[in-house]
């Protein structure tokens, strides 16, 4: 866990810096200087481009995780591994783009009535998807080389600063809206160039054609795995984005703007989870190679404990301050209050489930995850179709919450049945109980006149009401170690 803790801590710090910049963008700048439908456009362009890129990748992202340990040999340029997966992704992009252009008319029919801006800026999806594809491919390649920090700095901090710059230029009336959209797409394309440049600087940009005997030996297995990974990853992305896409189609782009803003606010919960996954995925793949189930179970428990405690604390602080957060946004965004609550509960359960997805997708049983995901995609589409017309964006949030809980329960049960490991320990039951008690204490306190003082005071009091019992109950060893280190650092500097 030493390397994982070291890298995940750095990545988490970068992610929280990025989250602070992202909150400036999504809570202050976007809602106050863009119309709700324009916010919906900006958010859904990225959502659709990521889906497009995932399909084009042809499973290459997961191929890197699963098979790079077998090719890892710097003296021999990793047996042409980067060339192979890059060629696969490029071929996938060409065929996907042809299909995408062929589907332009159905896309127009689907969205032109309630979300015409999506139709107007349709062609921007192609460069966004292309750069998203190669950013993710090179980021995953660098993760397998245990070079996690710089790619995270590029995506979490660098990109968001550029987004801040682009929306500020628009807010100052220096450009019109079409020019802003062009700038917004441009800055979202730049991280791919940055991460490729970093790979070159490391001396790891090995893209010369090289046909190693390894490819002949396991090439067929890799392609089969890639096909299953393609549909599995695509299904998972559809599962996680179908709600916002259906809100845009069934209601309108303004509602999608509010809904996707709530998605972003809850996304801060996933920062510790994503940081741990980024570092743990190649480690889990290594455990499968050596069949080290003891250390895998230990990592499974540690990830679940830490994610639940950190995610639960963040969710609690956001919920007790949610009315104050809406104070900085136009009044129409108040419609998203219970969207935030339901999406937050779903995401928190997703985090608490630990590394079940990573374990499944790097195991020999990876095919089964596809069947779970496809079944839940059907469930998600059906539930959104029936609930959105009746309950609006709250219906979409409820459908998303239930789907996330079911999805993770199925994965947990499957991993436990196949490998006799599961993420939960009884002590974790204290976390939701402490959260409910702390939230009730917050409700007893009235709102202070000064909004800034209210946020600060409420966060400090409720934060301590959560942290103190969690620490003394020793729910997460990793979190306790982190707290102890910071206490020693603070007291040491105080008395120095």
Q: How confident is the model at residue 492 (pLDDT cuts 50, 70, 90)?
A: low
The string of pLDDT tens digits covering residues 311-354 is 899 999 999 999 888 988 998 999 999 999 999 999 999 888 87
pLDDT at 336: 92
pLDDT at 453: 87
pLDDT at 235: 73
pLDDT at 144: 77
High-pLDDT (> 90) share of the chain, % = 33
* pLDDT at residue 452 tops 50: yes
Per-residue pLDDT, averaged over 250-255, amounts to 92
* pLDDT at residue 388 tops 90: yes
* pLDDT at residue 495 tops 50: no
Per-residue pLDDT, averaged over 122-132, amounts to 94
pLDDT at 125: 94
The string of pLDDT tens digits covering residues 401-451 is 999 898 888 888 888 888 888 888 888 889 999 999 998 888 877 677 788
* pLDDT at residue 75 tops 80: no
* pLDDT at residue 262 tops 90: yes
The string of pLDDT tens digits covering residues 12-62 is 778 778 888 988 898 889 999 999 999 999 999 999 998 899 888 888 877
High-pLDDT (> 70) share of the chain, % = 93
The string of pLDDT tens digits covering residues 393-412 is 999 999 999 998 988 888 88
* pLDDT at residue 1 tops 50: no
pTM of the model: 0.81
Q: How confident is the model at residue 5 (pLDDT cuts 50, 70, 90)?
A: low
pLDDT at 494: 44
pLDDT at 382: 92
pLDDT at 71: 72
The angle formed by the CA atoms of residues 20, 23 and 25, to the nearest 5 degrees, is 115
Lowest mean pLDDT among 161-170, 177-186, 274-283: 274-283
């Amino acid at each position: 866990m030493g390397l994982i803790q070291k890298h995940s801590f750095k990545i988490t710090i970068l992610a929280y810096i990025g989250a602070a910049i992202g909150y400036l963008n999504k809570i202050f700048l976007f809602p106050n200087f863009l119309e709700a439908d324009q916010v919906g456009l900006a958010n859904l362009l990225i959502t659709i481009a990521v889906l497009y890129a995932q399909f084009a990748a042809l499973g290459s992202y997961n191929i890197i995780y699963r098979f790079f340990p077998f090719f890892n040999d710097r003296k021999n340029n990793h047996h042409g591994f980067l060339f192979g997966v890059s060629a696969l992704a490029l071929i996938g992009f060409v065929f996907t783009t042809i299909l995408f252009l062929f589907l332009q008319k159905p896309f127009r029919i689907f969205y032109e009535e309630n979300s015409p801006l999506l139709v107007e800026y349709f062609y921007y999806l192609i460069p966004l998807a292309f750069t998203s594809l190669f950013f993710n491919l090179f980021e995953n390649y660098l993760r397998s080389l245990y070079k996690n920090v710089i790619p995270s700095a590029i995506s979490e901090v660098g990109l968001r600063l550029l987004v801040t710059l682009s929306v500020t230029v628009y807010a100052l009336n220096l450009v019109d809206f079409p020019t802003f959209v062009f700038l917004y797409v441009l800055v979202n394309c730049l991280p791919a160039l940055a991460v490729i440049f970093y790979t070159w600087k490391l001396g790891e940009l090995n893209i010369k054609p090289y046909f190693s005997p390894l490819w002949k030996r396991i090439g067929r297995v890799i392609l089969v795995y890639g096909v299953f990974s393609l549909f599995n990853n695509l299904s998972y992305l559809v599962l996680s984005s179908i709600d916002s896409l259906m809100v845009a189609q069934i209601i309108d782009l303004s509602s999608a703007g509010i809904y996707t803003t709530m998605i972003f606010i809850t996304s801060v919960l996933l920062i510790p989870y994503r940081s741990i996954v980024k570092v743990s995925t190649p480690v889990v793949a290594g455990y499968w190679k050596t069949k080290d189930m003891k250390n895998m179970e230990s990592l499974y428990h540690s990830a679940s404990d830490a994610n639940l405690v950190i995610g639960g604390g963040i969710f609690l602080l956001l919920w007790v301050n949610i009315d104050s957060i809406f104070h900085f946004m136009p009044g129409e965004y108040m419609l998203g209050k219970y969207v935030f609550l339901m999406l937050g509960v779903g995401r928190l359960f997703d985090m608490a489930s630990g590394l079940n997805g990573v374990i499944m997708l790097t195991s020999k049983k990876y095919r089964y995850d596809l069947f779970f995901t496809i079944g839940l995609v059907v469930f998600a589409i059906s539930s959104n179709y029936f609930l959105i017309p009746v309950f609006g964006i709250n219906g979409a949030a409820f459908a998303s919450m239930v789907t996330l809980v079911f999805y993770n329960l199925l994965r947990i049960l499957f991993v436990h049945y196949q490998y006799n490991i599961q993420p939960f320990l009884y002590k974790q039951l204290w976390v939701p109980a402490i959260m409910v008690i702390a939230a009730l204490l917050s409700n007893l306190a009235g709102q202070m006149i000064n909004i800034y003082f209210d946020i600060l005071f409420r966060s400090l009091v409720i934060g301590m009401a959560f942290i103190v019992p969690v620490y003394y109950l020793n729910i997460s060893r990793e979190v306790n170690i982190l707290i102890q280190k910071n206490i020693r650092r603070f007291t040491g500097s105080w008395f120095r």
